[in-house]
Amino acid sequence: MKAVVYTQHGLPIGDPRSLQDTELPMPLAGPHELLVEVRAVSVNPVDTKIRLGAPVTEPRVLGWDASGIVRGVGAAVTLFKEGDEVFYAGSLLRPGSNSQFQTVDERIVGRKPASLDFAQSAALPLTAITAWELLFDRLKVAEGGGAGKSLLVIGAAGGVGSILVQLARTLTKLTIIGTASREETRNWVRELGAHHVIDHGRPLQEQLEAITIPEVDIVISLTHTDQHYPAIVEVLAPQGQFALIDDPATLDAVPLKRKSISLHWELMFTRSMFATADMVKQHELLNRVAQMVDAGLLRTTLGQHFGRISAENLRRAHALIESGRAVGKIVLEDF
């Protein structure tokens, strides 16, 4: 089968060797696994981080977002059958989705939204799981709750921010403040449902005071947390909550003590990496997201379509992700 791999970590994305087209053997589905024909993928920052930082001894397939068609099921599979259209974000411990076929545990797979095509659907899984787990599992925001409280989303125009703003606006009563630094991204965040949009390139405190919200109850930082951390501590209300998903080199929690701020870290791969007892929650929440999409309550966060799945097009996608200028999700479709 066709696949795109990297064979040497750390190469700049402009180097043709950083991602290469190849042929690999067809994978076989284990007892709880699906064999999926991959129809579309999207690219996330985790793809670029692993390509740059994870050494390999054999070719590795990247990709942690996919939509496709079930072509085979393991002996213990109960949630899906051959021919089902699905979407999922996979596992860090398994070969990725940048291949014609992939095996994936059924407990982290959802039914593809019927109202979206494969490319539109592939934009959603990883970011939807991350955003959902942030709001409802880590921060314990109740559906329909949050009245009178405020949420500041730093980096709201990116992949996770694009779905997080929608989920918060649709399922909670939080006042949502998103940050974006360009007119294009500010408009995008407003369209997705943020009540206010401010610029993370300018002092946060002054801008919050200008919209008469001098302190916020919850901050979710999605990018460059190390740069924004002092300002985050400053604008958080006493007994507030701070959550993040990125990887600052260090994070000193001591400044949070004075205000009794709680700290939450989200990695959507935790359930699949550790095969947690509640691993099937990702199947359930992806099905819920699909239902909301089909009901017109959520929209795809597809930002750009980069054509077919190939090393050349994936290098273009990685380059845009690394530039920090992507709006929404970058999607590729078919081989």
Taking only the tens place, the pLDDT of each residue in 324-333 is: 888 879 999 9
CATH for 2-124+276-333? Answer: 3.90.180.10
Q: Which pLDDT tens digit goes with each residue over 158-209?
A: 889 999 999 999 999 999 999 999 998 999 999 999 999 999 999 999 999 9
Distance (Å, whole) CA 136 – CA 143: 8
Question: Once rounded to an integer, what is the mean pLDDT over residues 15-37?
Answer: 96
Question: Once rounded to an integer, what is the mean pLDDT over residues 238-255?
Answer: 95
Question: Once rounded to an integer, what is the mean pLDDT over residues 293-299?
Answer: 96
Residue 89 and residue 126 in contact, taking contact as beta carbons nearer than 8 Å = yes
Q: Identify the pLDDT of residue 324.
A: 82
| Mean pLDDT, all residues of the chain | 96
Residue 267 and residue 292 in contact, taking contact as beta carbons nearer than 8 Å = no
Q: Identify the pLDDT of residue 9.
A: 96
Between strands 109-111 and 85-88, the pairing is: antiparallel
CATH for 127-265? Answer: 3.40.50.720
Q: Please, is 114 exposed, middle or buried when counting C-beta atoms within 10 Å of its C-beta (0-12, 13-18, 19+)? A: exposed
Structure tokens at 144: 């329909």
Quote the percentage of the chain above a pLDDT of 70: 100
**Domain residues of the chain, as ranges?**
2-124+276-333, 127-265
Q: Identify the pLDDT of residue 159.
A: 87
Q: Identify the pLDDT of residue 145.
A: 97
Quote the percentage of the chain above a pLDDT of 90: 95
Position 248 pLDDT exceeds 90: yes
Q: Which pLDDT tens digit goes with each residue over 49-93?
A: 999 999 999 999 999 999 999 999 999 999 999 999 999 999 999
| Phi, psi (rounded to 5 degrees) for 301 | -105, 20
DSSP single-letter state for residue 106: G
Query: 111: which residues sit within 8 A by CB, 6+ positions away?
Result: 84, 85, 86, 87, 286, 287, 290
Q: How many helices (H) and strands (E) does the chain have?
A: 10, 16
